[in-house]
Amino acid sequence: AKRTTDKLRSPICAVLGHVDTGKTKLLDKIRRSHVQDGEAGGITQQIGATYIPTDEIERQTAKVKKGSKFEIKVPGLLVIDTPGHESFSNLRSRGSSLCNMAVLVVDIMHGIEPQTAESLEMLRKRKAPFVIALNKVDRLNGWIRTPNTPIQLALKKQKQPAIQDFETRLDHIKLQFAERGINTELYWKNKNIREYVNIVPTSAHTGEGVPDLLFLLVSLTQKMLAKALAYSEELECTVLEVKEVQGYGTTIDVILTNGTLREGDTIVLGGLEGPIVTTARSLLMPAPLKELRVKNAYVLHKEVRAAQGVKIAGKNLEKAVAGLPLYVAHTPEEEEVYKEEAERLLEDTLNAIKTVEKGVCVQASTLGSLEALLEFLRTEKIPVSAVNIGPVHRRDVTRCTIQLQRDPKYACILAFDVPVDADAKRYAAREGIRIFEADIIYHLEESFRKHMEEVKQ
């Protein structure tokens, strides 16, 4: 039969859930990668994106769909990994707003946890369909491993203790969801996918249920979202990261949710010192199954169709701000309109950040990580007097020196996931400004606490 892949775009699936439920590991299993091993502190602190092409989905789901008439019509899946740590609710929110379908990952040993509930609320607000992956089944009492096997077959292999443990925990978790007004059912028993949310038990370590998860994502998006996946030329694109890449200079990582990006396009985006208009000099993509946020060998493309994670190289991207939309202008008039739009969005976002006279200065790599850091400091009741995005320079130190008069204990800069240049370091040491650097959000809080203890004495 002739495929209609040229009409559908790839669905975007966001993986959401409480910290350490196994979101990244599940993707590692699908990608045969080791992204989680390389994460600072084993936690995800950025949004990631990976493209899973159809041939790979065909291969991995073959054992599940044996005998069914199922045909894959989407060109592939773009999966978005999100952080589960409580500070990153802004990135979960961004992930859930980018996605067509979500995977809510729940640790079968823990059931619903705070960020499971938070993610659930986000999905409910957006009316986004989702499946529940009940992960870590390999930890069930007496579980017999059957690597990468469809879950029903894996369950048939189990003895009484594992079955008993599985059923008790499953019932309990179904009840927890029911208490939140959500009906759930194991996907192979689910007769009504619009009333009951599918559950698929998985193990990211041994791979049981992982083929089922992929199968479900494709079959559900095709069944429920055919209209939403109709390809549209209208560009929808969000900047995720601004990164230095050897040989390409400063690049931006974007998620293209709709439309087409072409090499040579005039792009407009928000910048720290005003909107940026530049030419997309090269469009780079990681190979299929490679995570966009991890350093990779990139493949050059003349054009890229949604949905994809893309790295764009071009001039003047150093001051780009991540977390905002990117536009393509076809005329000088469009360029003006988009510049205003980009400027307004950034202003609104920065104006929404409340600062006080006496407080620490904070600096982060992206708008997303800045928001996460601020949220974290808010819960820790640490006041903030100034914010900035990007590397710490001398002028950031200068700005902080005012705290020496206002309240010396706040004369410090908390730098999250950004470099501090040598000049700034020297200058800070001379002026008595402390700079705390960390690539894990809660380590900043630890160093700051220690500092507060010291200044008290």
Q: Residue 11: name its binding partner from ligand GTP, Na ion, Mg ion, none (Cβ under 5 to 8 Å by kind).
A: none
**Residue (210 or 321) nearer to ligand GTP, CB:** 210
Q: How far apart are CA 263 and CA 6, in angstroms?
A: 21
**Residue (118 or 396) nearer to Mg ion, CB:** 118
Could you say whether residue 19 binds ligand GTP (CB under 6 A)?
Answer: yes
- Shortest approach of Na ion to residue 47 CB, angstroms? 14
- Shortest approach of Mg ion to residue 15 CB, angstroms? 8
Could you say whether residue 34 binds ligand GTP (CB under 6 A)?
Answer: no
Residue list 327-356, contact with ligand GTP (CB under 6 A):
none
- Shortest approach of ligand GTP to residue 108 CB, angstroms? 9
Q: Which range, of 5-13, 39-47, 171-179, 240-248, touches ligand GTP by CB under 6 A? A: 39-47
Choosing from 18, 23, 311, 434, the residue that interacts with Mg ion (CB under 5 A) is 23
Could you say whether residue 38 binds Na ion (CB under 5 A)?
Answer: no
Q: Residue 265: name its binding partner from ligand GTP, Mg ion, Na ion, none (Cβ under 5 to 8 Å by kind).
A: none
Q: Cβ–Cβ contacts within 10 Å for residue 193, how many?
A: 17
Contacts of 78 (CB under 8 A, 6+ apart): 10, 11, 12, 13, 49, 50, 51, 52, 255, 307, 308, 309
Could you say whether residue 21 binds ligand GTP (CB under 6 A)?
Answer: yes
**Residue (140 or 386) nearer to ligand GTP, CB:** 140
Could you say whether residue 198 binds ligand GTP (CB under 6 A)?
Answer: no
Could you say whether residue 26 binds Na ion (CB under 5 A)?
Answer: no
Choosing from 24, 96, 238, 257, the residue that interacts with ligand GTP (CB under 6 A) is 24
> Tell me, what amino acid is at 71?
E
- State the residue number with the nearest CB to ligand GTP: 84
**Binding pattern for the stretch 73-112 against ligand GTP, x by CB under 6 A and - elsewhere:** ----------xxx---------------------------
Q: Residue 136: name its binding partner from Na ion, Mg ion, ligand GTP, none (Cβ under 5 to 8 Å by kind).
A: ligand GTP
Choosing from 13, 14, 15, 43, the residue that interacts with Na ion (CB under 5 A) is 43
Q: How far apart are CA 377 and CA 200, in angstroms?
A: 36
Could you say whether residue 42 binds Na ion (CB under 5 A)?
Answer: yes
Q: How far apart are CA 436 and CA 415, in angstroms?
A: 6
Choosing from 10, 11, 15, 24, the residue that interacts with Mg ion (CB under 5 A) is 24
- Shortest approach of Mg ion to residue 24 CB, angstroms? 3
In angstroms, the Cα distances linking 347 to 225, 273, 274, 336 are 35, 11, 10, 17
Residue list 132-171, contact with ligand GTP (CB under 6 A):
135-136, 138-139
- Shortest approach of ligand GTP to residue 300 CB, angstroms? 30
Q: Which range, of 14-22, 48-56, 58-66, 152-160, touches ligand GTP by CB under 6 A? A: 14-22
**Residue (116 or 388) nearer to Mg ion, CB:** 116
Q: Give a three-class secondary structure readout of the chain.
A: CCCCCCCECCCEEEEEECCCCCHHHHHHHHHCCCCHHHCHHHCCCCCEEEEEEHHHHHHHHHHHHCCCCCCCCCCEEEEEECCCCHHHHHHHHHHHHHCCEEEEEEECCCCCCHHHHHHHHHHHHHCCCEEEEEECHHHCCCCCCCCCCCHHHHHHCCCHHHHHHHHHHHHHHHHHHHHCCCCEEEHHHCCCCCCCEEEEECCCCCCCCHHHHHHHHHHHHHHHCCCCCECCCCCEEEEEEEEEECCCEEEEEEEEEECEEECCCEEEECECCCCEEEECCEEEEECCCCECCCCCCEEEECEEECCEEEEEECCCCCCECCCCEEEEECCHHHHHHHHHHHHHHHHHHHHCCCCCCCCEEEEECCHHHHHHHHHHHHHCCCCEEEEEECCECHHHHHHHCHHHHHCHHHCEEEEECCCECHHHHHHHHHHCCEEEEECCHHHHHHHHHHHHHHHHC
**Residue (24 or 238) nearer to ligand GTP, CB:** 24
- Shortest approach of Mg ion to residue 351 CB, angstroms? 31
**Residue (23 or 293) nearer to ligand GTP, CB:** 23
Could you say whether residue 41 binds Na ion (CB under 5 A)?
Answer: no
Could you say whether residue 203 binds ligand GTP (CB under 6 A)?
Answer: yes
**Residue (20 or 118) nearer to Na ion, CB:** 20
Single out the residue of 197, 194, 76, 221 nearest to residue 131, CA to CA: 197
Binding site for ligand GTP (CB under 6 A): 17, 19-25, 36, 42-44, 83-85, 135-136, 138-139, 203-205
Binding site for Mg ion (CB under 5 A): 23-24, 44
Binding site for Na ion (CB under 5 A): 20, 42-43
